[in-house]
Amino acid sequence: MKNVGLISALIYTGISLTAAGVFLGITLAGNYTWVARIGGTAWVFLLAMIVLMPVVMPLVKKRYRS
């Protein structure tokens, strides 16, 4: 059986990094300070991790159980 925890962590970390990168890219076009850009990017990453952890884990478990 595959390591479901590791696979889940890779998935939700990747999605969170992508969301944070998109946020950073969008803020580069605006007139924001670097503190606001980096702080917002960190905040988006953290919130995405919190939201995605309980969502991705059951989906991966279900997929690899069958």
Look at residue 66 in the predicted model and tell me its pLDDT. 65
* Amino acid 1: pLDDT: 54
pLDDT score recorded for residue 10: 96
Instruction: Report H helices in the chain.
Output: 4-29, 34-65
**How many whole angstroms from its chain centre is CA 27?**
18
Per residue in 11-66, pLDDT tens? 999 999 999 999 999 999 999 999 999 999 999 999 999 999 999 999 999 988 86
Residue 25 half-sphere exposure toward CB, CA atoms < 13 A: 6
Under a CB-based contact definition with an 8 Å cutoff, are residues 64 and 1 in contact?
Answer: yes
Measured on CA atoms in the order 4, 5, 6, 12, is the torsion positive or negative? positive
